[in-house]
Structures are given as C-alpha cells and as structure tokens.
Amino acid sequence: MVNQSQDALKNFDPSFLVPGQSIDCVIIGYNEMGLHILVLKWKGMAGWILPGGFIGIGEDMDAAAVRVLEERTGLKLPYLKQFHTFGKVDRGNFNAELVEADMLPGRSSPIIQWLTQRFITTGYLSLVNMKESMPTPDFLTERCLWKPLNDLPDLMFDHRQIVQTAIAEIRNQINYMPVGINLLPEKFTMRELQSLYESILERALERSNFQKKILRLGYLNRHEKKMTGEAHKAPFLYSFDGDKYNQLLGQGLGFL
C-alpha cells in the first residue's frame, strides 16, 4: 500500500501547479449526535488531516477545491465556500512530513524541494448531509471518516485551527448560510431543526420562541406527523421551500 503511494508521489510533477499555495477543506455534517468533520489518515502516517491539495496553473481556485475534494474523497459537493487564508510562518508543512516518513525517495530531488517549501493555504468549508455523502479514500489515504467535532483525533499542524475557524465562520454567518437545507434530511421535525442550531451555537434556544420565529419566516412546508406510536403526541414533519429559503438567505434570515 505504502509502495503504491510512493510510486504515485515519485511521479508527481509540480511544474503544473501554483507554488506555495494549497487548499484545505472543512467538510461539515450533522446527525443526532451533533456536528461532524470529515478527516483523512494517509497511508504510512500516524496523524489525521483535512482533505486538501494543490492548485493547477490556469485553474481557478474554486474549481481546484471542487476537484481536490472529488479526487481525495469521491464527494461532489453542492456548497463550497472560501472562509479564510492561513499564512503563519510557523503553521507547519505537511509535505515535509512526507519526507520524514520516507514516503518519498531522493530527498534532494526538485520534487522534494518543491514540496518542502512554505505553503499558504486557503480554507474552504462545505455543509453536507452525512447520510447522502459516503466518502471514498483515494490511493494515498488509509481512512476517510466522519468524526464528531467534539471528539476529533489529533490533527496535524494547524488543521485543528482551520476547523475552529470554519466553525466560528458558520456561527458568525449563520443567518446567511444554508445550514438547515444542507445538513438536515429532506423531512425533519421542528425539534431536529432546533437541535441543529443549538449544536452550531453551543447554547440552548427557547423552544416556543424558536418555533414562532422559524414559522414566521415562511420557508417551511408542513407535512404529515412523524409516527412515534403515540399519534396525538407525534410531531409534524417539515421540509424547506427551496426558493423562499434561498431568497431569504440572500437578505439574512434574521432570527438569531
């Protein structure tokens, strides 16, 4: 397995890539246990990382982010947003770790020199339905898994800071980001919607006020009750009216 990775990296040609620039992606999912982050573990290495890669010369950065995610995880994501650039001198160099792990032969080769230069990375974030997003590891990756935000493994270099910055961005821009429609299943209860927002904000929300504000916005369609065995107590199911939801996002939902 590691030999396969070595062979692929040995044939790596950096002349087609923008030097010193990389992309790291924070892919966020949600279930009843809370927010989750998609992380990778490379073959032959102990640490975990975010999905990431490089930008081709002549390639738009946004297009590169879409390509990198599809190559590394097999996912095609409908929502991908730049949120921050990370450029500290001491942010570390993941590629140098490849050399130390003997993932690449010939330490004086031009490829090694290119990989071990200082890299500034642009962070992207995406909000996806975990149940509909089944990641597939690429040939360099041993595992590609969803991990709870509150129980992440040790992440290499500044990748934990990248995750924390992405979560702060969602909290700050929660009225302008498609949180509900991207993270929840097609039909959901009001309680599930409230729990999602509580997980993001890390605080409790008053139930009746939350429901009144949400329903007043008018972007939910109400459906049959969720069967629980007690019909009179069963909660109603809801779905998003996509057109109204997206229209309001442009203005800011304004309920939190």
Q: What is the mean pLDDT of each run of 10 residues along the chain (256 residues)?
A: 51 83 95 94 85 94 93 86 92 61 55 80 94 86 93 92 97 93 94 96 94 93 76 83 91 78
In this structure, the answer to whether residues 49 and 166 fall within a common structural domain is yes
Helix (H, G, I), strand (E, B), or coil: what is residue 166? Answer: helix
Provide the pLDDT for residue 100: 58
Provide the pLDDT for residue 91: 80
In this structure, the answer to whether residues 46 and 136 fall within a common structural domain is yes
Last residue of a domain, which of 138, 172, 206?
A: 172
In this structure, the answer to whether residues 75 and 197 fall within a common structural domain is no
In this structure, the answer to whether residues 195 and 165 fall within a common structural domain is no
Place of tokens 């001198």: 89
Query: Which stretches within the chain are classed as H helix?
Result: 2-10, 61-73, 94-100, 110-115, 159-172, 179-183, 190-201, 207-217, 242-251
For the chain, the domain total comes to 2
In this structure, the answer to whether residues 106 and 227 fall within a common structural domain is no
In this structure, the answer to whether residues 166 and 187 fall within a common structural domain is no
Last residue of a domain, which of 172, 206, 232?
A: 172
Provide the pLDDT for residue 197: 96
In this structure, the answer to whether residues 105 and 160 fall within a common structural domain is yes
Provide the pLDDT for residue 1: 41
Last residue of a domain, which of 152, 172, 192?
A: 172
In this structure, the answer to whether residues 118 and 237 fall within a common structural domain is no
Provide the pLDDT for residue 2: 45
In this structure, the answer to whether residues 94 and 165 fall within a common structural domain is yes
Specify the CATH number for the domain of residue 206.
1.10.10.10
Provide the pairing of β-strand 120-127 with 141-148: unpaired
In this structure, the answer to whether residues 141 and 184 fall within a common structural domain is no
Measured CA angle at 129 (ends 202, 239), to 5 deg: 85
Any domain includes 116: yes
Q: 27, 51 in Cβ contact below 8 A? A: yes
Any domain includes 134: yes
In this structure, the answer to whether residues 161 and 195 fall within a common structural domain is no
Q: Is the pTM of this model over 0.85?
A: yes
In this structure, the answer to whether residues 133 and 202 fall within a common structural domain is no
Range of the domain at 199: 179-251
Any domain includes 256: no
